[in-house]
Amino acid sequence: MVNPLAGEVSVFIDGNAHVCKLTLGALAELESQLEERSMVDLVKRFESGNYAGRDVMALIVAGLRGGGWQGSTADLLTADIAGGPIGAAQIAATLLARAFTPPA
């Protein structure tokens, strides 16, 4: 079970539930990988709808790593992510939102 107040998001990969969370280490890796000046720029990219599949994949991999997953991007290339590309994009956007929204 995930804890949204801790920034966690659930993702089903090949029918198995995984916890995603953007930890500080995952965010630093993500920033470097996507060559963004800041995470705010990445958030703006998602808010404007101007994101790419690589952005979605990078966010999900970073979130999975933050949740303790030991895989790599290559492991997800042929995996079935519940909801397909739209579901994956929603998970990525939720990860960003939960990482930067203080709990109420």
CA–CA separation, 42 and 99 (whole Å): 12
Supply the pTM of this predicted model: 0.88
Residues 23-35, mean pLDDT to the nearest whole number: 83
Q: 104 pLDDT exceeds 70?
A: no
Please report the sign of the dihedral spanned by the C-alpha atoms of residue 18, residue 68, residue 27, residue 97: positive
- At position 76, the amino acid (one-letter code) is L
At 27, the pLDDT band (50, 70, 90 cuts) reads confident
Q: Considering only CA atoms, which of 32, 101, 92 is closest in space to residue 64?
A: 92
